[in-house]
Amino acid sequence: MPASFDLVMFDLDGTLIATAPEICDAVNDTLRRFEMPEVTQVNDWIGQGTHELLIQALAYVGGVAVADVRASSTLAAIAAEFDVHYQTRCGTRSQLYPRVPETLTALRGQGIKLAVVTNKEARYTRTVLDAHQLMPLLDWVISGDSLPTKKPHPGGILACLEKFGVANDRALFVGDSSIDVATARNAGVQVWALPYGYNMGQDIAASLPDRVISDCSALL
């Protein structure tokens, strides 16, 4: 590994941590508050950030277009309610994927810089990472609202390359979705993909990552 990469960047939801159950709980907490039907899963909406996920859920249960939800005068109040519930739910039913902390610890021991680049908003990102004790293993975290752009724009990856002084061919991005593959391609770095995450119900191999790996320990 040290001969190949100096920087490894990770997506968060569906890559390091399985977060869908508690996100679904927070969505349903919110829907109940506004006397709306509940949803059974949110997996297919994960990837663009939690605010966008909430919009998708509201469009689904309301049987309306996403554009109508975005234009709704009630969206701000619903989003504020969701914020309260998701902060409460963070860390309650999410789980680390196999071999994540051991792999991050081993990579750090080899002197490799580690970062997370996620579309999840920073206030949730930090809470989830803290809940699973991953923050001490990371050198930097870029969330969906850390920069003016978010994935698949390459800004987050490019910021990491600049911060750590690493060339594109010495960096790797690890994710679980077509968004992650596109982001890495846009930034000109290699991308390895995990098959168990949230890729909107699609086979990640169809996105043509450089490798599909069974779990994070393949990095070692």
User: Which residues are known to be catalytic?
Assistant: 11
- d(C-alpha 59, C-alpha 52), whole Å: 11
**Judging by beta carbons within 10 Å of its beta carbon (0-12, 13-18, 19+), is residue 168 exposed, middle or buried?**
middle
DSSP 87: H
Neighbours of 165 (CB within 10 A): 10
CA distances from 207 to 11, 49, 149, 193 (A): 16, 20, 22, 9
- Cβ of 112: how many Cβ atoms within 10 Å? 22
